[in-house]
Amino acid sequence: MKIRFYIPLINYFVLTMLLVVLFGLSSAYAATPQIKNLEMKIWPEYDQPDTLIIYVGELSEETELPARLTFLLPNYVEDLHAIAYAQEGQLFRVPADEVDLKPDNQYLSLTFSVPSRTFQFEYYDSHILSKDGDQRELDYSFHAPMDTAQVNFEIQQPKQAANFLITPSAKQGLTGSDGFVYHQLEQTDMKQDDTFTINATYNRATNQPSVQASQPANNAPAPAPAVPAESVSPTVTTPTNQTNMMGYILIVGGLILLVGSGGYWYWSRQQPIGSGKGRRRSQQPAQSAGFCHQCGTSLHAGAKFCHNCGTPRRA
């Protein structure tokens, strides 16, 4: 006896929705930005008593453009300067109304979009440099914003600084064309939320920023930055992350569909499945054509003998 199985229409719907959810999940993960190379410039006492922090990054070739980038900064940062992207060798400032800066637990979340693979922004950190007379100590902690293949840390030695020591040990300092000494550290294959800490100590007898201390006697102004500074102050809003929220929704939806599909499959397996002929016979019972005069059994239409006792049918 052949048994014919069938898939109800609802199963097609569940399978289709499951495929849509899985495709959405794969697209969301594929679209997650990744950084190919990140230059972290740490310049204490450069043009202000605080420490200038500069991010210069290049996104990976797999990152889809335009890309929405999010960085977690110290929650005490009051504003940012020169949030920009590079195109055809020139820097263009990201409009202030396209920058989202808001508290996020113990951090300050900075989010902005870039149409190209190269981006840059900077801010002043007023907490990481401590001063005690001539003694200086810099304690900087880097928080990887996303998966990053390579991070190059550049620590600028202030002018008139002595006994400059860095932990972990950096490469031998090199003097740049601007007269500053730069110390280099490198980290590779950093994952999102990885951290890296740098400590530097030195002596400096003046509180005058390096730019002012290095100006010639005629007080010529220092060169203007490539991107004019434009501050962006944080706005107090409810912290959200649309990308993560969409991922959570897709994951929950996929789990619901999986559980529902599995439950329906289990329920359908418990139902008796007969042959097609059996179902047709149960829906169309045989018609009676009289009764046997010997045993009283209902006779089949056209039968000449009783199928129960064999008695000939009366005409």
Question: Is the pLDDT at 249 greater than 80, yes or no?
Answer: no
Q: How far apart are CA 131 and CA 292, in angstroms?
A: 117
Residue 80 gets which letter from DSSP? B
DSSP 243-257: HHHHHHHHHHHHHHH
pLDDT, tens only, 81-104: 889 999 988 999 998 888 999 998
Q: Residue 313 phi/psi, 5° resolution?
A: -75, 135
Domain boundaries, the chain: 31-240
Q: Answer whether 42's CB lies under 8 Å from 138's CB.
A: yes
Strand intervals (E) in the chain: 35-44, 51-59, 67-74, 81-87, 90-93, 100-104, 107-114, 118-125, 129-132, 135-143, 148-157, 161-167, 174-175, 181-190, 195-204, 288-291, 298-300
Residue range 205-231: mean pLDDT, rounded: 66
The candidate with the shortest Cα–Cα distance to 228, out of 89, 73, 91, is 91
Helices (H), the chain: 9-30, 210-213, 242-270, 276-283
Whole-model pTM? 0.64
Distances (CA, A) of 60 to 34, 40, 89, 108, 148: 6, 17, 18, 25, 9
- The pair of three-digit structure tokens given for residue 294, joined into one six-digit string: 């010997």
Q: How far apart are CA 158 and CA 74, in angstroms?
A: 23
If one compares 129 and 3, the residue with the highest pLDDT of the two is 129
pLDDT, tens only, 108-148: 999 999 999 999 999 999 999 999 999 999 999 999 999 99
The CATH number given to 31-240 is: 2.60.40
- The pair of three-digit structure tokens given for residue 239, joined into one six-digit string: 């912290």
